[in-house]
């Protein structure tokens, strides 16, 4: 995963350039901007900063983290503003902020978290937020004939995709596509006040950590 996205960094933003996705993306940028307005945000796996930029329009502050400096370097070139700080960090070893954030967000990340690691990830993120922090996540739905096909499933039920980069390098990544019921069920042990938005190409979820 980390090596794949490190190598893909220069091409990554192409994922947001498909005209068919723009209506969903516009809806989601507004969805996100509304939910972080005036709040402090800790972002996990921020990548090249597409959603960091969307959130930075209204958030009070954003600490955007990613494991790969290569993706953060691209985010740094997006004019994110003085309210945004970029930090290299593993999603499972997030920084302890002097003032814990009110909101934790992770976009196009949940699908890459192995099913057996989901609860651990949620607990870790919650531990880096204020009590009863709000969780916001956006991710991709599986679109038949558009999404990369699932190449295999493992014994735990995780799905995998084979990804090929422009230089021909082949990677296998975990890519789970929960339906709405499965998503809510996976969050319910840790969260309440769960709201979902299901669009043709993406879903979004908001929830409050207990």
Ligand X SMILES: C[S@@+](CC[C@H](N)C(=O)[O-])C[C@H]1O[C@@H](n2cnc3c(N)ncnc32)[C@H](O)[C@@H]1O
CB atoms inside a 10 Å sphere around CB 69:
12
User: How far apart (Å, rounded) are the C-alpha atoms in residues 97 and 42?
Assistant: 9
Q: Which residue has the tokens 């593993």?
A: 90
Instruction: Single out the segment in contact with ligand X by CB under 6 A; choices: 105-113, 142-150, 160-168, 196-204.
Output: 105-113
CA 191 remoteness from chain centre: 17
Instruction: Single out the segment in contact with ligand X by CB under 6 A; choices: 45-53, 118-126, 129-137, 187-195.
Output: 45-53
CB of 24 to ligand X, least distance (A): 13
- H helices within the chain, ranges in order? 2-8, 22-36, 50-56, 69-76, 118-127, 180-187
- Answer yes or no whether residue 55 interacts with ligand X by CB under 6 A: no
Member of 40, 56, 68, 176 binding ligand X (CB under 6 A): 68
- For ligand X, the closer of residues 20 and 193 by Cβ is 20
- Tell me which residues touch ligand X (CB under 6 A): 1-2, 5, 45-47, 50-51, 66-68, 71, 90-91, 107-109
């Amino acid at each position: 995963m980390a090596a794949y996205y490190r190598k893909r960094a220069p091409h990554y933003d192409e994922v947001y350039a498909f005209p068919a996705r723009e209506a969903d993306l516009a809806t989601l940028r507004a969805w996100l901007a509304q939910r972080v307005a005036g709040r402090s945000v800790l972002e996990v796996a921020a990548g090249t900063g597409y959603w960091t930029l969307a959130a930075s329009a209204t958030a009070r502050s954003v600490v955007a983290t990613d494991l790969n400096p290569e993706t953060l370097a691209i985010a740094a070139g997006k004019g994110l503003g003085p309210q945004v700080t970029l930090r290299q960090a593993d999603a499972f070893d997030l920084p302890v902020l002097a003032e814990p954030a009110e909101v934790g967000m992770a976009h196009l990340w949940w699908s890459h978290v192995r099913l057996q690691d989901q609860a651990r990830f949620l607990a870790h993120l919650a531990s880096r937020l204020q009590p009863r922090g709000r969780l916001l996540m956006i991710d991709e739905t599986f679109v038949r004939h558009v999404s990369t096909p699932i190449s295999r499933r493992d014994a735990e039920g995780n799905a995998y995709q084979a990804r090929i980069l422009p230089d021909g390098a082949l990677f296998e990544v975990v890519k789970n596509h929960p339906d709405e019921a499965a998503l809510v069920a996976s969050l319910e042990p840790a969260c309440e006040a769960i709201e979902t938005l299901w669009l043709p190409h993406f879903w979004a979820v908001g929830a409050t950590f207990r």
